């Protein structure tokens, strides 16, 4: 079993839709959690951190459920520019980040 698991998708949604991605992790000792975004043939970039209390950044909301060991990302009012791969990232130990396989999102007009 992989340490960080994601549905690879693709998720095909129309503009304006709300879409949610989930991610599960296997190591209960994991300390911190993040979502990265990777555009096609580009490098990954930090989208947002995930806090225990949940956090929001504009149209994006991230939540953490430690008991069930899953992380979610909700995107409201999807834009064409949101089309990308969203990577779930778990930090375990000092500076050790483990990436999921990514979930691909395609937003269509």
Partner 1 sequence: EAGVVQSPRYKIIEKKQPVAFWCNPISGHNTLYWYLQNLGQGPELLIRYENEEAVDDSQLPKDRFSAERLKGVDSTLKIQPAELGDSAVYLCASSESGSNTGELFFGEGSRLTVL
**Positions in the binding site for partner 1 (CB under 8 A):** 4, 8, 32-34, 42-46, 49, 87, 89, 91, 95-102
Q: In whole angstroms, how close is the CB of 90 to partner 1 at the nearest point?
A: 9
Pairing of strands 11-14, 103-108: parallel
Peptide bond into 9 cis (omega under 30): no
Count the neighbouring beta carbons within 10 Å of the beta carbon of residue 72: 17
Q: Cβ closer to partner 1: 17 or 98? A: 98
Nearer to partner 1, 59 or 96 (CB): 96
Q: How far is the CB of 16 from partner 1 (least distance, A)?
A: 28
**Minimum Å distance from CB 76 to partner 1?**
23
CB of 39 to partner 1, least distance (A): 11
- CB neighbours of residue 50 within 10 Å: 22
Rounded Cα distance between 48 and 87, Å, is: 11
Closer to partner 1 at the Cβ: 8 or 54? 8
CB closer to partner 1, 14 vs 29: 29
Contact yes or no for 20/105 (Cβ under 8 A): no
- Interstrand relation of 97-99 and 4-6 (parallel, antiparallel or unpaired): unpaired
């Amino acid at each position: 079993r992989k340490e960080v698991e994601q549905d690879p998708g693709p998720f095909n949604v129309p503009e304006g839709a709300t879409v949610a991605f989930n991610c599960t992790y296997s190591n209960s000792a994991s300390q911190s959690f993040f979502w990265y975004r990777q555009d096609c043939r580009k490098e990954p970039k930090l989208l947002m951190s995930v806090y225990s209390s949940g956090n929001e950044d504009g149209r994006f909301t991230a939540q953490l459920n430690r008991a069930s060991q899953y992380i979610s990302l909700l995107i409201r009012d999807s834009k064409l520019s949101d089309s990308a791969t969203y990577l779930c990232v778990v930090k375990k130990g000092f500076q050790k980040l483990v990436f999921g396989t990514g979930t691909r999102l395609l937003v269509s007009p």
